[in-house]
Amino acid sequence: MLVQLKEETLEENKSKDIQKKAKPYKLVEKKHDNHRTVIEVKGVLIGGPEVLALAGPCAVEGLESLRETAKVVKASGAKILRASAFKPRSSPYSFQGLGEEGLKIQRQVADELNLIIETEVMDPRDVALVEEYVDILRIGSRNMQNFDLLKEVGKCKKPVILKRGLSATIEEWLLAAEYIMAHGNHQVILCERGIRTFENATRNTLDLSAVAVAKEMTHLPVIVDPSHAAGRVDIILPLSRAAIAIGADGLLVEVHHDRENALCDGAQSLRPEDFDLLMKECSSIANSIGRKML
Amino acid sequence: MLVQLKEETLEENKSKDIQKKAKPYKLVEKKHDNHRTVIEVKGVLIGGPEVLALAGPCAVEGLESLRETAKVVKASGAKILRASAFKPRSSPYSFQGLGEEGLKIQRQVADELNLIIETEVMDPRDVALVEEYVDILRIGSRNMQNFDLLKEVGKCKKPVILKRGLSATIEEWLLAAEYIMAHGNHQVILCERGIRTFENATRNTLDLSAVAVAKEMTHLPVIVDPSHAAGRVDIILPLSRAAIAIGADGLLVEVHHDRENALCDGAQSLRPEDFDLLMKECSSIANSIGRKML
Amino acid sequence: MLVQLKEETLEENKSKDIQKKAKPYKLVEKKHDNHRTVIEVKGVLIGGPEVLALAGPCAVEGLESLRETAKVVKASGAKILRASAFKPRSSPYSFQGLGEEGLKIQRQVADELNLIIETEVMDPRDVALVEEYVDILRIGSRNMQNFDLLKEVGKCKKPVILKRGLSATIEEWLLAAEYIMAHGNHQVILCERGIRTFENATRNTLDLSAVAVAKEMTHLPVIVDPSHAAGRVDIILPLSRAAIAIGADGLLVEVHHDRENALCDGAQSLRPEDFDLLMKECSSIANSIGRKML
Amino acid sequence: MLVQLKEETLEENKSKDIQKKAKPYKLVEKKHDNHRTVIEVKGVLIGGPEVLALAGPCAVEGLESLRETAKVVKASGAKILRASAFKPRSSPYSFQGLGEEGLKIQRQVADELNLIIETEVMDPRDVALVEEYVDILRIGSRNMQNFDLLKEVGKCKKPVILKRGLSATIEEWLLAAEYIMAHGNHQVILCERGIRTFENATRNTLDLSAVAVAKEMTHLPVIVDPSHAAGRVDIILPLSRAAIAIGADGLLVEVHHDRENALCDGAQSLRPEDFDLLMKECSSIANSIGRKML
């Protein structure tokens, strides 16, 4: 008969080790249970009791089109309009975005409809330009460890959404936020958007545990992008409900008023009526945990 | 200047392809939107409007100990007692479980407290024995593609919980369920318990998208095991809320009345008071989506 | 300006930690630099200076067919014939193998051609039967942590090839070998066959580093299966050369005399002429590192 | 009894699909079997019959230190000196490199010893500066999809080493090369450096299959960085042998004349005597496949 020892394997020891390790970050660290950063943008609070929707098309395609989608997301309760003027595309032959023309369109639509606007910035040389036009800057997952870009947005006065890299550990994600904070900008919003795994039924695997873990480790607000994680429209509603239930401070959702003709990501963009339903169901979840969304 | 084509890369085409493919399974397939299998065990319905808690220690450690934990999980609202008499352990020198003695203890405690009992079966030669003692059999993630074991439980008259393999695709998970159904047992309950990824902050990465995807593909009930996925106790409550919000039909949770002295998985077992809080919070989420838990 | 500390992140500390940890295994451990187990089967040495080829079809399909492939692999220099009579298939509707009839065919062909035969065993109840017919038993990757099966082959008198699980760490692989050795059978041959990752260009990702790492950690022979890892025939030759160069003690390769009509895995089976070329090229690599193959 | 169909699952169909798909790239594509790009730098050919060593310290630490390591790698047969003046570090508090001062040191050492020098560029604003000093530019894995950086080096006249991203598919890697070529620079050298998987025994998992697959898909030279993949010094020699055997056109290896005092990556840097042995063993492998290294 074999001797039975109460020995543990490396796998079993893993999370324990991590918790004991000295933390390599400082500014992002949650110092006590009630330590939370709330970021204010034109009267809207991110990271407070309200759960926010940041909704809109993948890309700015033109003035009429953005205005149309902006109206529908506003009507359903979104206060922040998402849209990209600079697009990171795997292929050099794919639509790369409208650039500064797109930023102007975003500003115009936001002003007309009294919405807050956020957009992606990819190149350190564009940071000043982008900051001029929009209210919130976004670092995409491919650029999470583009350290020169992080340093540049670290000098901005406006909030930055920092998407988690496709294969970034939570620690690396927090260290990327630390870069931004260490260069002076303390208004960082973390965004979980799916990690790359072996599973093919979804484009990426939304790691909702990472939201719960990040909430334990940092005082920064954490939002969730179910659209890029799923890559398919049929599970965005349940993923959004789960994100709110786990404690996310907001949702970054792709919505298009005419998704069949979207220039990119049509397959994962919600129709207006589905986004409206999403807002209602998520609002109900938010209420059940003592927060509000509508 | 580069010509801009609306070409898509393989990555962008991925989920679309999958949806168009001929499905390799038959019996597990959801045939229409309202197609749901509800499994009845001693008056308790799995997969119906009620969300269930299956709670208890990792392993059966002895009569007193199991009875103690059983009382606390029952008091908080669990109707099904989880516990393993046969333990799959990475090391041959780790505690391997009490075997038949454990099954007897489980039966006794279940009868005393009027609880339903579930347990893992690992060896095709033990299936008849296990079926004799418990109400629900469980196939662990390491055995999800132990096809001879699947065939054997396929001949059982009692329901089977089928945990997803650590690196099994959703399709392979459904095909494993198809094995059980093809051999005659249509009472299969799928259980998502985390997949293996690069992330080290959690033991595994709970793939909640898989619950939403499985609910689209199959009529079978789907439950979630946040304990094995997390491997750390501090995020089990938010993960459980998210699981209910996404549409899981139940939670498989490790609880121990004295976790400091648990023979295995103490680090991920909830204390009685934390489990009680979990039940209350999850009940509130269940209500907000039109289901009930308490 | 930022203070620059020489601090390291968790990621950077990872391998160092692992090397410092107490090892959870005992019998598989390499005790000194020259500690190597050499396994003898009918005069052929596995783990010695010679690098071996274990070649043949995925499945036993019939007497004529196996004999035909056996002749060609023998002609090219293989001393061990691979073929499965019991097939682990993802779908219950796929070809499941010929069972005992297949074992008889294997024995007959091996005896006619004076070859050593190896085959997979999946069910603990079949171990005695399989041991009766073949010279080497094989545990497939799906069963690497089928602990009851490991215990059963641990009682055998014949060598066991232990394939690494699709998502098993090297440590878990060695612990699975420890199970077999702890139950009495010290003739274990490890087989790397690809792990599951996000990459889709190959069926799995052949982890050749694992061969080098395993050779540092254990005295057991290590072989490589490029066929199941690649899932495509066009890179099997270079993968095989690399496997020999890194120090593998053998190759487990799928070859079929008529791959277009193979009942399974035709797409990854080598044609006879390609296998012949593989043997010549690998022999040349073997010579360059002081070993021999032909 | 179950009907047995010859149906294949998604997993089994995977690689076949990929091979049939229309290719999203154009300029990187291999048009016929003998289609190979050979890049010439100061008389040294990359992608020709000779296999090259690109060796040196992780970072430029100072003139004396770089000169010392450069001498030893040259003595062992390396023709290209690797070293980084700009360092992408996970933490903002880690050593970030010497910047332009480092570039000057590299140029001086290269000129003194008649070596070719390569270095990493991270910021599109630094490309012109870096191109002025060094012979070959390098894009690190974190920046593989930093599209503005790719476009910028696409305008350079000097060769670019493009490291594969930590979780980039081979297709995405080739599309990143396509970006560089589409903007005018056809001198791209691909570099496999390990992908992120669940395995913790190595820092990353060196994907040698990717070298074989890339060699099938593209005419560009492919080199391998075993140092960053392994993250541990004890398996770099066998990994290097395997890389040559599979067909790599070069090795990018970290060597330090005094690794105990290296400012970064000391744990994975080879000692001079180990690098010398590596060159001899790899040369022997190269000869056995009809190439040369020394």
What single string gives the DSSP state of each residue in A74-106?
HHTT--EEE-BSS---SSTTS----THHHHHHH
Give the separation between CA A293 and CA D91, rounded to whole angstroms.
Answer: 35
For chains B and D, count residue pairs whose Cβ atoms are closer than 8 Å.
Answer: 41
Of B11, B195, B232, nearest to A15 by CB-CB distance is: B232
Q: Which of A172, A158, C286 is nearest to D89 (CA)?
A: A172
Of B5, B18, B167, nearest to A198 by CB-CB distance is: B167
Q: Chain A closest CA to C9's CA: distance in Å?
A: 6
pLDDT the model gives residue D12 = 45
Q: In this structure, are residues B279 and B241 in contact, taking their beta carbons and an 8 Å threshold? A: no
Name the residue of chain C whose CA is nearest to B123's CA: C148
Question: Using CB atoms and an 8 Å cut-off, which of residues 82-111 of chain B contact chain A?
Answer: 90-96
Of C26, C91, C147, nearest to B122 by CB-CB distance is: C147
Confidence of residue C21 (pLDDT cuts 50, 70, 90): low
Give the separation between CA A265 and CA D60, rounded to whole angstroms.
Answer: 43
What's this model's pTM, rounded to 2 decimal places? 0.94
pLDDT the model gives residue A18 = 43
Name the residue of chain D whose CA is nearest to A87's CA: D147
Of B25, B143, B167, nearest to C146 by CB-CB distance is: B143
* A52 SS3 class: strand
**In DSSP terms, which residues pair with C81 in a beta bridge?**
C55, C117
| A43 burial level (CB within 10 Å; 0-12, 13-18, 19+) | exposed
Are A125 and D122 in contact (CB < 8 Å)?
A: no
Q: Chain A contact for B150, CB < 8 A?
A: no
Which tokens is B180 given? 């059980």
Q: In this structure, are residues B19 and B45 in contact, taking their beta carbons and an 8 Å threshold? A: no
Are B17 and D17 in contact (CB < 8 Å)?
A: yes
Are C9 and A24 in contact (CB < 8 Å)?
A: yes
| Sign of the C-alpha dihedral computed for residues B182, B183, B184 and B185 taken in this order | negative
- Whether the predicted pLDDT of D15 surpasses 70: no
Give the separation between CA B175 and CA D184, rounded to whole angstroms.
Answer: 49
CB-based contacts of D238: which residues, under 8 Å, 6+ apart?
C211, C212, C215, C245, C246, C247
Place of tokens 């020892």: A5
Residue to substitute from D10, D25, D195, D205, interface B, most B β-carbons within 10 A: D10
List, in sequence order, every beta strand (DSSP E) within chain C.
Answer: 39-41, 44-46, 52-56, 80-82, 116-120, 136-139, 160-163, 188-192, 222-224, 250-254
Confidence of residue D112 (pLDDT cuts 50, 70, 90): very high
Q: Chain B contact for D9, CB < 8 A?
A: yes
Residue to substitute from C11, C120, C146, interface B, most B β-carbons within 10 A: C146
Confidence of residue D22 (pLDDT cuts 50, 70, 90): low
Question: Using CB atoms and an 8 Å cut-off, which of residues 167-206 of chain A contact chain C?
Answer: 167, 169, 171-172, 175, 182, 196-198, 200
Which tokens is A33 given? 């249970």
- Alpha-helical regions (H) of D6-57: 10-20
Q: Chain C contact for D51, CB < 8 A?
A: no
Chain A residue numbers touching C151 (CB-CB < 8 A):
none
For chains C and D, count residue pairs whose Cβ atoms are closer than 8 Å.
Answer: 201
A39: enclosing H helix or E strand: strand A39-41
Instruction: State mean pLDDT over D197-224.
Output: 98
pLDDT the model gives residue B2 = 38
pLDDT the model gives residue B22 = 66
Are A10 and C196 in contact (CB < 8 Å)?
A: no
- Whether the predicted pLDDT of D19 surpasses 80: no
* B6 SS3 class: coil
For chains A and B, count residue pairs whose Cβ atoms are closer than 8 Å.
Answer: 198
Give the separation between CA D20 and CA D40, rounded to whole angstroms.
Answer: 34
The average confidence (pLDDT) of chain D is: 93
Residue to substitute from D12, D26, D147, D199, interface A, most A β-carbons within 10 A: D147
Which region holds residue C203: left if phi is over 0, alpha if psi is between -120 and 50, else beta?
alpha
Are D167 and A166 in contact (CB < 8 Å)?
A: yes
Confidence of residue D24 (pLDDT cuts 50, 70, 90): confident
Please report all neighbours of A, defined by 3+ CB atom pairs within 8 A: B, C, D
Neighbours of C287 (CB within 10 A): 16
Give the separation between CA C275 and CA D271, rounded to whole angstroms.
Answer: 39
| Helices and strands in chain A: count of H runs, count of E runs | 10, 10
pLDDT the model gives residue B112 = 98
Chain C residue numbers touching D195 (CB-CB < 8 A):
197-199, 205
Q: Chain D contact for C260, CB < 8 A?
A: no
Give the separation between CA A22 and CA C9, rounded to whole angstroms.
Answer: 9
- Parts of chain A with a pLDDT under 70: 1-22
Q: Chain B closest CA to D229's CA: distance in Å?
A: 14
Report in angstroms the alpha-carbon separations of C136 from C6, C156, C223.
Answer: 52, 10, 14
- Whether the predicted pLDDT of D6 surpasses 50: no
| Helices and strands in chain B: count of H runs, count of E runs | 10, 10
Chain C residue numbers touching D216 (CB-CB < 8 A):
234-235
Chain B residue numbers touching A16 (CB-CB < 8 A):
267
Are D7 and B24 in contact (CB < 8 Å)?
A: yes
Report in angstroms the alpha-carbon separations of C64 from B81, B202, C101.
Answer: 55, 52, 13
Confidence of residue C22 (pLDDT cuts 50, 70, 90): low
* A135 SS3 class: coil
pLDDT the model gives residue A21 = 57
Q: Chain D contact for C150, CB < 8 A?
A: no
Q: Chain B contact for C9, CB < 8 A?
A: no
Name the residue of chain D whose CA is nearest to C239's CA: D246
Which tokens is C43 given? 């005069």
At C127-179, the pLDDT tens digits run 999 999 999 999 999 999 999 999 999 999 999 999 999 999 999 999 999 99
Give the separation between CA D199 and CA D181, rounded to whole angstroms.
Answer: 34
Residue length of chain B = 294
Of D11, D172, D196, nearest to B198 by CB-CB distance is: D196
Which region holds residue A56: left if phi is over 0, alpha if psi is between -120 and 50, else beta?
left
Chain B residue numbers touching C152 (CB-CB < 8 A):
none
Give the separation between CA A204 and CA A112, rounded to whole angstroms.
Answer: 35
- Alpha-helical regions (H) of B154-230: 170-182, 208-217, 226-230
- Parts of chain B with a pLDDT under 50: 1-19
Of A93, A146, A172, nearest to D90 by CB-CB distance is: A172
CB-based contacts of D130: which residues, under 8 Å, 6+ apart?
D85, D86, D103, D119, D121, D137
* D207 SS3 class: coil
For chains A and D, count residue pairs whose Cβ atoms are closer than 8 Å.
Answer: 75
Are D201 and C169 in contact (CB < 8 Å)?
A: yes
Name the residue of chain B whose CA is nearest to D24's CA: B9
pLDDT the model gives residue A188 = 98
Q: Chain D closest CA to B96's CA: distance in Å?
A: 25
Percent of chain C scoring above 70 in pLDDT: 93
Are D182 and B2 in contact (CB < 8 Å)?
A: yes
pLDDT the model gives residue B111 = 98
| Sign of the C-alpha dihedral computed for residues C70, C72, C75 and C80 taken in this order | negative
Are D10 and B24 in contact (CB < 8 Å)?
A: yes
Are A2 and C182 in contact (CB < 8 Å)?
A: yes
Instruction: State mean pLDDT over C8-19.
Output: 46
Neighbours of A219 (CB within 10 A): 17
Residue to substitute from C209, C236, C281, interface D, most D β-carbons within 10 A: C209
pLDDT the model gives residue D265 = 78
The average confidence (pLDDT) of chain C is: 93
Name the residue of chain D whose CA is nearest to A182's CA: D92
CB-based contacts of B247: which residues, under 8 Å, 6+ apart?
A238, B211, B212, B215, B222, B289
Place of tokens 């044609």: C271
